[in-house]
Structure 1
Amino acid sequence: MRIVIIGATGHIGGYLVPRLVAAGHEVVALSRNGTPRYRDDPAWQQVQTVTADREAEDAAGTFGARIAELSADVVVDLVCFTAASARQLVDAVRGRTRLLVMCSTIWVHGAPTAVPTDEDEDLEPWGEYGTGKLEIERMLAEESARPDGLPSIILRPGHISGPGWPIINPQGNLEASVWEKLARGERVVLPGFGLETLHHVHADDVAQAFQLAIERGADASAGLFGRAYHVVSDRALTLRGFAEAVAGWFGHTPDLEFAPWAEFAVAVGPEAAATTLEHVLRSPAASIERARTELGYEPRYTSLEAAREALDWFVANGRVSI
């Protein structure tokens, strides 16, 4: 198939493009800069690259037509954040493209009422990102249900992890010092009792799910159109369990302090606390049963394995000092 990937040079695309090329597909990689940012691969020599500024072209009303002119069998959209942007794309490629595969997020869920959360539960997001993604999902589901509509499949990654990509740490934020303290056996403060959860996924597992959605979804009889799928590791991690595992990688028993939220926020500072709060309020733990059953998705990496590979890269590249 001829596959156009919008936002192809990011973390997911770094794994998805080589996968699709190896499978014999013709790939058109569209991005702002035209070169992979996180992971190079010889497969890029076999890819047609197209540069575009989506934000500017959306504003001018020309982006959808640009994609339609590329005559794709399948369009993969990794960087759509508003329903208006999605609508422009859909209107332009309807009838000219067999399938749209859209990247959403597990943040379309609000605070969980039961875990693991399935795709149809707790769809009450807060914040611009999750709210915008859910609006896109609902528009695409309605579009897919129309007899003359554009078929689509929606994938919801969790905390994407891997070499070169900022990784959510056991404190629920991006502070490098947390990894360093755990590696040295120094004290790390966690909110509450450390039982809030994070749900990581390796970027290659996300790419695996996109490849499965493309190849299985292109068959209309598969019944996947308009469906949403979680794409995460097999199991989520508690903050406490995550911290204990990381300290163990370096031969330490972790020195953990558990603090009520107000004390935790003072201890880590406002920026880190705000990032932690976004994660612990959601405490995601998403089911992948639907993706396993309907797509054949099977993550190669556990949450800890994805985190370990990412941390090794940060250490090797001087971003974390052990």
Structure 2
Amino acid sequence: MKIFIAGATGAVGSRLVPLLVAAGHEVAGTSRTVGGTRRVDAAGGHGVVVDGLDTGAIRRAVLDARPDVIVHELTSLAGGMNLKKLDASFALTNELRTRATDALLAAGREAGTSRFVVQSFTGWTNEHTGSAVKTEADPLEARPPASARQSLAAIAHLEAATVAAGGLVVRYGPLYGPGQTLGKGGEMLELVARSKMPVVGGGRGIWSFTHVDDAASATAAAVTDGAPGLYNIVDDDPAPVAEWIPVLAECAGGKNPMHLPAWVARPLIGDFGVQWMTTARGSSNAKVRAELGWAPRYASWREGFRTGLGD
């Protein structure tokens, strides 16, 4: 098949290109720079320079490629994530989740594309009440902190637009592994190693992690299999913050983390950060296992943190 990857040099896209090429597909992938397109070429695909916020350029590139499948992996997170100002940190990514999604879907319809696979996120976006682990049938959080409302609205738009177009939404949990902020040399791992990432308010918030290579393999599976809809791409081991941060600290060579009450942490990480640490719900991968036949290489973050953070 002919596959068009928007964002082929990002965290997941760069791993997805060689997987699809090895499976015998013809892959075109976008990058904002000539250097990025050369990396796509080196992986066996065909690199195309496209600014993900230039809707005209998106249309021209899709019509030129005439793909059977479009995969949307566009994000812009190079500036890091400020938990107190989440929407500011994700401003460009939110545009890519709205304007770029709409442009890719429209261009695909015009080009006769039959399948769409679009990246989303699962974690703090889950409703923070009820069951500890959520499925794709559960609603998104209805009352996010003010600092996260635009980001949640962008995710909701992306998911609704993709499903309405008959596409598949692959929801990654917090990514870890090579090249990630939670990976060797990454900002988050360094904070944990220096005991600067505390357990807040008892650390009862539940996280479901995704190794970056598992995100890529699940997305590759969604290119050819599965009915339209939402799919949580996470490991088998949802865990509270109070459980996973100490293990991560040990793996990073750091000391046991500090414990801070929520009222002390709130000026440092804001309402959003406190909620994610204390009331977040995990995500189930039962649907993707059953419908796509996919299973994570790293079934648990416990193994992944010990063996999968580096190159």
TM superposition score normalised by structure 1: 0.76
Q: Which amino acid aligns with 2:135?
A: D
Name the SS for the 2:214 alignment partner. helix
The yes-or-no answer on 1:237 pairing with 2:239 is yes
The yes-or-no answer on 1:305 pairing with 2:306 is no
Q: Report the Cα offset of residue 180 of structure 1.
A: 3.0
Provide the aligned length of Structure 1 versus Structure 2: 280
Q: Report the Cα offset of residue 72 of structure 1.
A: 0.6
What is the aligned partner in structure 1 of residue 210 from structure 2?
201
Name the SS for the 1:94 alignment partner. helix
Q: Report the Cα offset of residue 52 of structure 1.
A: 0.9
Q: Which amino acid aligns with 1:260?
A: P
What is the aligned partner in structure 1 of residue 52 from structure 2?
54
- Percent of aligned pairs sharing the same letter: 25
The yes-or-no answer on 1:264 pairing with 2:265 is yes
Structure 1 residues 282, 85: closer, same or farther in 2, change over 3 A?
A: farther
Name the SS for the 1:156 alignment partner. strand
Unaligned runs of 5+ in 2: 76-95
Q: Deviations over 1:226-252 (max 9, x none)?
A: x10000111122222113323544789
Q: Deviations over 1:169-202 (max 9, x none)?
A: 9xxx9372322349xxxxx742111222222111
Q: Distance in 1 between matches of 2:256 and 2:278?
A: 24
The yes-or-no answer on 1:215 pairing with 2:254 is no
Q: Which amino acid aligns with 1:264?
A: A
What is the aligned partner in structure 2 of residue 176 from structure 1?
190
Q: Distance in 1 between matches of 2:152 and 2:289?
A: 24
- Whether the 8 Å contact between 1:159 and 1:168 is mirrored in structure 2 is no
Q: Distance in 1 between matches of 2:189 and 2:217?
A: 29
Q: Deviations over 1:131-159 (max 9, x none)?
A: 21211211222232xxxxxxx11110010
Q: Which amino acid aligns with 1:177?
A: L
- Whether the 8 Å contact between 1:105 and 1:130 is mirrored in structure 2 is no
Q: Which amino acid aligns with 1:69?
A: D
- Whether the 8 Å contact between 1:14 and 1:36 is mirrored in structure 2 is no
Structure 1 residues 236, 70: closer, same or farther in 2, change over 3 A?
A: same
Structure 1 residues 86, 200: closer, same or farther in 2, change over 3 A?
A: same
- The equivalent position to 1:280 in structure 2, one of 273, 277, 281, is 277
Q: Could you say which structure has the larger radius of gyration?
A: 1
Structure 1 residues 34, 274: closer, same or farther in 2, change over 3 A?
A: farther
Q: Which amino acid aligns with 1:21?
A: V
Unaligned runs of 5+ in 1: 145-151, 183-187, 218-223, 314-322
State how 1:35-54 maps to structure 2 within 5 Å. Answer: 35=35, 44-54=42-52
Q: Distance in 2 between matches of 1:64 and 1:281?
A: 43
Q: Distance in 2 between matches of 1:104 and 1:85?
A: 13
State how 1:90-169 maps to structure 2 within 5 Å. Answer: 90-94=105-109, 96-106=112-122, 107-124=124-141, 126=144, 127=148, 128-144=150-166, 152-167=167-182
Q: Distance in 1 between matches of 2:102 and 2:252?
A: 49
Q: Report the Cα offset of residue 108 of structure 1.
A: 4.1
Name the SS for the 1:69 alignment partner. helix
Structure 1 residues 204, 4: closer, same or farther in 2, change over 3 A?
A: same
Name the SS for the 1:79 alignment partner. coil
Q: Which amino acid aligns with 1:86?
A: T
CA RMSD of aligned residues (A): 3.0
Q: Which amino acid aligns with 1:123?
A: L
